[in-house]
């Protein structure tokens, strides 16, 4: 019987090995193709490069290609076209996607591969080599982001819309855009209302693509909602779509707000087709229209610094109109108990730039670090809210302790002078704390000691030295032969699984990014932690933003450089994330952007709190995205 058992096991092992080695590596032929073309392959910094991705196959294709990360290019969607046919029962279709790429720096670059998923398979293009030379004369290099809610606008030349035909000339005043500001001379951190308006007398054939202006040197906040209304200009009725932002200049001098851009397809009036049965008539009927690129004029602002004379000693750089309140979370405490001092600064202005108030000397208290938070409200044409600073105090003596009056100074740009607000003294009644219970140190004192000292307790217990002995366990059954026969097929199974995983990672960049998303986020969080220990707030928040956006982009299969914060929040909403979670993520995005682009002094405790918040959000988002 034993001989028959080993013989059967050997036959099973040999059969598994034969099956594994004879399994075909490819199960199906490629049924669609994807190609990419770049024109031109050599350009200068700031000039437009056209990328065309064509997908063909014997199927009704609707997939969108996945672009790789392009951190050295600003990428814009240029539209899409499709062709579908059904001949002799055979379905075939062609999709063509057009993108406009604007290089940010010179060098040799490799684009690709660009991939697409279809029925669980991934198809990719061949990499494309490109050469970018130095900036052309008169070109201004891209600046940093100006708004946390929009894609990062760059200073760039106007896109070419092709040779102007009769349609463009006849419809010259039928559609145009403008940007205006409510004032051109302001102080640092004084709000400016930037309004973009799109005027149109003709219908659009596609969803317009809006690119916000470059607002380098400003902190930007959107002013929803988008407005739509009708107006008359020179006796003609126009439909107007209006988008507004509040800009807070963060530095003095001459600052330029770049041009805003709008790309839209309108009816092509270049050709008049009289024969309704001609091919030209049907091409015109099904045409996507003429693509028009509209661009507003840049705006130059004169920003004055806050006056250096007559500055109060407690001035921290806050500009606007503000009020002050303060209070303790209790009126009575015991020695050593924690008490929270809360100072609230509320009013109109750049809430996130409101500086930390300087507390007076707090005699009788041990003072710990201050933690801040903010609440922003957007009403009409104003940004208002409250900045809250909470400081932990511990009373060290009994009696009635007083916190002297707290003052806060700010600059009022309307009155062009410094103003001060003040809260009266606060009082806390401190009672004696409880006497701590002494923990007996057994054996440290002899039985008889000096006067006033006695043994409190004895609790030594003798250690048990008798250890019960158990009989020696019986020897394990001989597994050598079983393991010897099972190891080869199991090893082959493991190797096969590893090989399939390796091939999938190499062929599917999206899957590979999703698998490594967690490790990439951990590396970015580690960099953020190191920057926090060095008190480098700018690098800390840059690494924190990289961890958040990089992880979410990898999990969603989107391009890190192309995805926007607004798109991330929308994708999370569609996947069922709770509104509170989305709100917390949006606030953390705002905090990271503000710290990077409008730097100010940051407390270590605040950075530690933001780091912990990021870890908690990534944990919750990981559960949602893994469903």
Please tell me the CATH code under which domain 507-625 is placed.
Answer: 1.20.120
CA 23 → CA 12, 20, 357, 454, 493, distances in Å? 17, 5, 72, 84, 12
Q: How many CB atoms lie under 10 A from the CB of residue 367?
A: 13
* High-pLDDT (> 90) share of the chain, %: 25
Are 75 and 96 a contacting pair, CB within 8 Å? no
Please tell me the CATH code under which domain 143-305 is placed.
Answer: 2.60.40
Q: Which long-range contacts (CB under 8 A, 24 or more apart) does 3-12 make?
A: 6/481, 6/485, 9/482, 9/485, 9/486, 10/485, 12/489
Q: How many CB atoms lie under 10 A from the CB of residue 114?
A: 24
Q: What are phi and psi of 223, to 5 degrees?
A: -120, 85
Instruction: Give the span between the Cα atoms of 93 and 56, in whole angstroms.
Output: 6
Task: List pLDDT tens digits, range 358-415.
Answer: 999 999 999 988 888 888 888 777 888 999 999 999 999 999 999 999 999 999 999 9
**What token pair was written down for 470?**
């158990």
Beta strands at 185-187 and 299-304: parallel, antiparallel or unpaired: parallel
**Average model confidence (pLDDT) for the chain?**
75
Task: List pLDDT tens digits, range 218-260.
Answer: 988 888 778 889 998 888 889 999 999 999 998 899 999 999 9
Q: Evaluate whether 143-305 and 315-431 have a shared fold.
A: yes
Confidence of residue 477 (pLDDT cuts 50, 70, 90): low
CA 280 → CA 94, 172, 267, 302, distances in Å? 21, 24, 15, 54
Are 261 and 297 a contacting pair, CB within 8 Å? no
Please give the CATH architecture assigned to the domain spanning 30-139. Sandwich (2.60)
Task: List pLDDT tens digits, range 598-621.
Answer: 555 667 778 888 888 899 888 888
Instruction: Give the span between the Cα atoms of 361 and 364, in whole angstroms.
Output: 10
**What token pair was written down for 261?**
């851009």
**Residue 146 pLDDT:** 32
Confidence of residue 484 (pLDDT cuts 50, 70, 90): low
Q: What are phi and psi of 49, to 5 degrees?
A: -120, 130
CA 230 → CA 102, 236, 238, 242, 409, distances in Å? 35, 10, 6, 11, 45
**Residue 94 pLDDT:** 77
Task: List pLDDT tens digits, range 150-192.
Answer: 333 333 333 333 333 333 333 447 889 999 999 999 999 999 9
Query: What secondary structure letter does DSSP report for 431?
Result: E
Judging by beta carbons within 10 Å of its beta carbon (0-12, 13-18, 19+), is residue 549 exposed, middle or buried?
buried
Please give the CATH architecture assigned to the domain spanning 315-431. Sandwich (2.60)
Q: Where are the domains of the chain?
A: 30-139, 143-305, 315-431, 507-625
Confidence of residue 305 (pLDDT cuts 50, 70, 90): very high
Task: List pLDDT tens digits, range 19-75.
Answer: 444 443 333 334 688 888 888 888 888 677 888 888 887 665 666 788 888 888 877
Single out the residue of 149, 146, 147, 247 nearest to residue 189, CA to CA: 247
């Amino acid at each position: 019987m034993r001989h028959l058992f080993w013989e059967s096991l050997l036959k099973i092992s040999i059969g598994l090995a034969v099956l594994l080695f004879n399994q075909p590596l490819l199960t199906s032929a490629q049924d669609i193709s994807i190609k990419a073309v770049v024109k031109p392959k050599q350009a200068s910094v700031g000039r437009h490069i056209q990328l065309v991705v064509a997908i063909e196959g014997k199927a009704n294709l609707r997939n969108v290609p996945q672009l790789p990360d392009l951190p050295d290019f600003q990428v814009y969607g240029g539209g899409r076209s499709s062709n579908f046919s059904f001949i002799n029962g055979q379905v075939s279709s062609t999709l063509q996607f057009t993108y406009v790429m604007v290089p940010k720096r010179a060098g040799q670059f490799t684009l690709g591969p660009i991939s697409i998923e279809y029925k669980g398979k991934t198809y990719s293009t061949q990499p494309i080599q490109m050469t970018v030379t130095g900036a052309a004369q008169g070109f201004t290099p891209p600046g940093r982001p100006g708004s946390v809610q929009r894609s990062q606008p760059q200073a760039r030349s106007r896109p070419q819309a092709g040779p102007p035909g009769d349609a463009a000339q006849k419809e010259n005043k039928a559609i145009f855009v403008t940007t205006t500001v409510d004032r051109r001379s302001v102080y640092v951190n004084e709000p400016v209302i930037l309004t973009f308006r799109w005027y149109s007398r003709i219908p659009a054939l596609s969803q317009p693509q809006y690119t916000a202006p470059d607002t380098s040197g400003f902190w930007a906040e959107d002013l929803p909602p988008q407005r739509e209304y009708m107006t008359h200009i020179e006796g003609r009725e126009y439909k107007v779509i209006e988008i507004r932002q509040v800009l807070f200049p963060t530095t003095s001098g001459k600052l330029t707000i770049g041009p805003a851009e709008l790309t839209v397809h309108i009816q092509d009036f270049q050709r008049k087709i009289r024969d309704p049965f001609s091919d030209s008539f049907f091409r015109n009927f099904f045409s996507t229209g003429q693509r028009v690129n509209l661009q507003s004029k840049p705006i130059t602002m004169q920003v004055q610094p806050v006056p250096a004379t007559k500055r109060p000693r407690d001035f921290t750089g806050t500009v606007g109109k503000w009020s002050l309140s303060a209070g303790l979370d209790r009126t009575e405490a015991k020695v050593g108990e924690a008490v929270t001092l809360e100072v609230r600064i509320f009013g109109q202005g750049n809430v996130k730039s409101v500086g930390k108030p300087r507390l007076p000397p707090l005699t009788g208290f041990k003072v710990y670090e201050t933690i801040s938070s903010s609440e922003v409200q957007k009403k009409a044409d104003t940004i208002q809210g409250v900045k809250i600073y909470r400081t932990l105090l511990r009373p060290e003596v009994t009696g009635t302790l007083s916190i002297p009056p707290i003052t806060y100074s700010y600059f009022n740009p309307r009155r062009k002078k410094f103003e001060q607000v003040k809260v009266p003294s606060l009082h806390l009644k401190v009672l004696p704390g409880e006497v701590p219970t002494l923990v007996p140190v057994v054996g440290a004192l002899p039985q008889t000691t000096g006067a006033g000292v006695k043994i409190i307790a004895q609790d030594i217990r003798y250690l048990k030295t008798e250890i019960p002995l158990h009989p020696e366990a019986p020897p394990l059954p001989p597994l050598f032969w079983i393991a010897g026969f099972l190891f080869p097929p199991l090893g082959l199974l493991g190797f096969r699984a590893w090989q399939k995983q390796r091939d999938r990672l190499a062929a599917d960049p999206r899957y590979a990014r999703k698998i490594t998303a967690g490790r990439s986020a951990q590396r970015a969080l580690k960099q953020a932690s190191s920057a926090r220990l060095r008190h480098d707030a700018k690098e800390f928040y840059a690494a924190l933003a990289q961890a958040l956006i990089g992880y979410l982009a990898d999990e969603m299969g989107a391009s890190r450089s192309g995805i926007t914060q607004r798109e991330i929040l929308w994708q999370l909403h569609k996947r069922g994330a709770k509104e509170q979670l989305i709100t917390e993520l949006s606030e953390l995005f705002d905090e990271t952007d503000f710290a990077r682009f409008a730097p100010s002094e940051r407390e270590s405790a605040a950075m530690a709190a933001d780091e912990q918040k990021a870890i908690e959000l990534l944990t919750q988002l990981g559960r949602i995205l893994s469903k």
